[in-house]
Chain A
Amino acid sequence: MAKTRVPAVEGWFTMGAEPALVGNRCAACGTVFFPRAEMFCRNPRCDSDSFDDVELSRTGTVWSYATNHYEPPQPYMAPDPFEPYTVAAVELEAERMVVLGMVDGDSTSMAVGRRVELVLATLFEDDEHEYVVWKWRPAE
Chain B
Amino acid sequence: MSSDTDIAVLGVGMHPWGKWGRNFVEYGIVAARGAIADAGLSWADIDFCSGADTMRNGYPGYVSGATFAQALGWSGARVASSYAACASGVTALETARMRILAGKCDVALVVGADTTPKGFLAPNAGDRPDDPDWLRFRLLGATNPTYFAFYARRRMDVWGATAEDFARVKVKNARHGLTNPFARYRKEVTFEDVMASPVVSDPLRLLDICATSDGAAAVVISSMDYARRHGRPDAVRVAGVSTVTPSFPNAIIEMPDFSTDSAVAVPVPELGFKDSIAAAAYEEAGLGPEDLDLAEVYDLSTALELDWYEHLGLCKAGEAEKLLADGATTHGGSCVVNPSGGLACFGEAVPAQAIAQVCEVTWHLRGQAGDRQVEGARAGMTINQGLFGHGSSVVLIR
- Residues on A lying within 8 angstroms of B by beta carbon are 8-10, 26, 29-35, 42-46, 63-70, 72-78, 85, 87, 89, 95-102, 111-113, 123, 133
Of all chain B residues, the one with the shortest Cβ separation from A95 is B262
**A97 touching B201, Cβ below 8 Å:** no
Is the C-beta of B199 less than 8 angstroms from some C-beta in chain A? yes
The 6 residue pairs across chains A and B that have the minimum distance between CB atoms: A66-B149, A73-B122, A112-B157, A67-B202, A96-B263, A64-B150
**B202 touching A45, Cβ below 8 Å:** no
Of all chain B residues, the one with the shortest Cβ separation from A31 is B265
**A33 touching B262, Cβ below 8 Å:** yes
Of all chain A residues, the one with the shortest Cβ separation from B206 is A70
Q: A64-B150, A66-B153, A87-B146 are in contact. Are A133 and B260 (CB under 8 A)?
A: no
Q: Would you give the shortest CB distance from B155 to chain A, in whole angstroms?
A: 10
How many angstroms between the C-alpha atoms of A75 and B125 in the bound complex? 8
By a CB distance below 8 angstroms, the chain B residues around A32 are 262, 264
Q: Would you give the shortest CB distance from B314 to chain A, in whole angstroms?
A: 23
By a CB distance below 8 angstroms, the chain B residues around A70 are 120, 143, 200-201
Is the C-beta of B154 less than 8 angstroms from some C-beta in chain A? yes
Is the C-beta of B74 less than 8 angstroms from some C-beta in chain A? no
**A76 touching B138, Cβ below 8 Å:** yes
Is the C-beta of B151 less than 8 angstroms from some C-beta in chain A? yes
7 CB < 8 A contacts A-B: A32-B262, A33-B262, A63-B253, A70-B201, A75-B127, A97-B260, A101-B140
Of all chain A residues, the one with the shortest Cβ separation from B268 is A96
Q: Which of A74, A96, A99 contacts B264 (CB 8 A)?
A: A96
Q: Which of B137, B151, B204, B264 contacts A31 (CB 8 A)?
A: B264
**B140 touching A87, Cβ below 8 Å:** yes
**A65 touching B139, Cβ below 8 Å:** no
**A89 touching B150, Cβ below 8 Å:** yes
By a CB distance below 8 angstroms, the chain B residues around A96 are 249, 262-264
Q: Which of A42, A64, A69, A133 contacts B157 (CB 8 A)?
A: A64
